[in-house]
């Protein structure tokens, strides 16, 4: 489906990114497997994971090169795109997948924990996308895929840094879709659910927790790849500006914010009117203080 295309997948040394890289290669793409080889919290680096995925792709008869630069700074992000140009002469698809976690309740979150997460997810995706943009413009075509999260789209406890970055990504994706439509550049988001090291730290002390984790393990990272490959292919030429979610065998189209209800007064509002009129009238459409698990409350299919 993506025969001959040059695809860069960031954070592809493991988890969801690895499976996307393998699937892209199986469908004929030439792949840049980027991974810094960091821990879940973003510490350290290791060239091993990216190279191992490259070898896996080559062993299956595919074409791939490794990149171990970080997405998080402009210069190193530029080198990731440079690797695609040096090895394959172009870039057609960028999957912004690299990510880290520094979970902490908001009132205890340090500025360093905020920075580290926003730096990799939001700045990282910006830097690599920005480095790819002139090439997309020049060749009048390109495809971006951002990995967002229901932690940002809906909400989750202890993830203010991650949620803010992930919701920021959806606005970045939509903005690129708007700004670069004239150059036939498409941009979409996927909110994945998958058992990976990122969610592997859930405690399994009680039978209930063990049962839950057993169900979560069914959601393998490989389940995300078919949608990513389809979005990258020319058959999805009219799909842009969308937010999808994938959970095992389920694919969802997520809503995007639109007005749900309005009130007007010809003479304008006083704060008292807002309390006596606007808030009661709007209350029927208030959103509950939901977490991702409240909305996705049934077992994955």
Residues belonging to the active site:
162
Query: Could you tell me the smallest distance in angstroms from the CB atom of residue 7 to ligand NAI?
Result: 16
> Which one among 7, 15, 54, 161 touches ligand NAI, defined by CB under 6 A?
15
> Which one among 98, 133, 227, 228 touches ligand NAI, defined by CB under 6 A?
98
User: Which residues, in sequence order, are CB contacts of 165 under 8 Å at separation 6+?
Assistant: 117, 118, 120, 121, 122, 152
Q: Hey, how many other C-beta atoms are within 10 angstroms of the C-beta on 130?
A: 14
Q: Segment contacting ligand NAI (CB under 6 A): 133-141, 172-180, 187-195, 248-256?
A: 187-195
Q: What residues form DSSP beta bridges with 252?
A: 245
**C-alpha 99: how far from chain center:** 8
> Which one among 42, 141, 142, 168 touches ligand NAI, defined by CB under 6 A?
42
Q: Are 224 and 20 in contact (CB under 8 A)?
A: yes
What is the contact mask toward ligand NAI in residues 214 to 233, using x (rule: CB under 6 A)? -------x------------
Radius of gyration for the chain, computed over Cα atoms and rounded to the nearest angstrom? 21
> Closer to ligand NAI at the Cβ: 25 or 224?
224
For the packed helices 124-138 and 160-179, what is the interaxial angle rounded to 10 degrees? 10
Q: Does 141 bind ligand NAI (CB under 6 A)?
A: no
Q: Does 100 bind ligand NAI (CB under 6 A)?
A: yes
Q: Are 189 and 170 in contact (CB under 8 A)?
A: yes
> Which one among 32, 147, 189, 232 touches ligand NAI, defined by CB under 6 A?
147
> Closer to ligand NAI at the Cβ: 85 or 199?
199
């Amino acid at each position: 489906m993506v025969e001959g295309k040059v695809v860069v997948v960031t954070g592809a040394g493991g988890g969801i990114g690895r499976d996307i890289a393998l699937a892209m290669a199986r469908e004929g793409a030439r792949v840049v497997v980027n991974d810094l080889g960091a821990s879940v919290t973003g510490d350290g680096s290791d060239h091993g994971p990216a190279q191992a995925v490259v070898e896996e792709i080559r062993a299956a008869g595919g074409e791939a090169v490794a990149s171990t630069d970080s997405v998080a700074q402009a210069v190193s992000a530029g080198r990731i795109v440079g690797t695609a140009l040096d090895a394959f002469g172009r870039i057609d698809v960028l999957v912004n997948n690299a990510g880290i976690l520094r979970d902490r309740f908001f009132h205890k979150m340090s500025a360093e924990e905020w920075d580290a997460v926003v730096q990799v997810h939001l700045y990282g995706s910006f830097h690599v996308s920005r480095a790819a943009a002139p090439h997309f413009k020049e060749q009048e075509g390109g495809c971006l895929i951002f990995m967002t999260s229901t932690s940002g789209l809906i909400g989750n406890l202890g993830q203010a840094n991650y949620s803010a970055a992930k919701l920021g990504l959806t606005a970045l994706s939509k903005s690129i879709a708007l700004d670069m439509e004239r150059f036939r550049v498409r941009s979409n988001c996927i909110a994945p659910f998958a058992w990976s090291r990122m969610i592997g730290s859930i405690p399994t002390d009680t039978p209930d927790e063990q049962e839950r984790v057993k169900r979560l393990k069914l959601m393998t990272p490989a389940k995300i790849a078919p949608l990513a490959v389809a979005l990258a292919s020319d058959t999805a030429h009219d799909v842009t500006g969308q937010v999808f979610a994938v959970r095992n065998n389920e694919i969802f189209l997520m809503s995007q914010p639109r007005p749900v209800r309005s009130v007007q007064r010809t003479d304008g509002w006083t704060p008292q009117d807002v309390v006596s009129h606007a808030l009661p009238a709007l209350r029927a459409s208030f959103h509950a203080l939901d977490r991702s698990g409240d909305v996705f409350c049934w077992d994955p299919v």
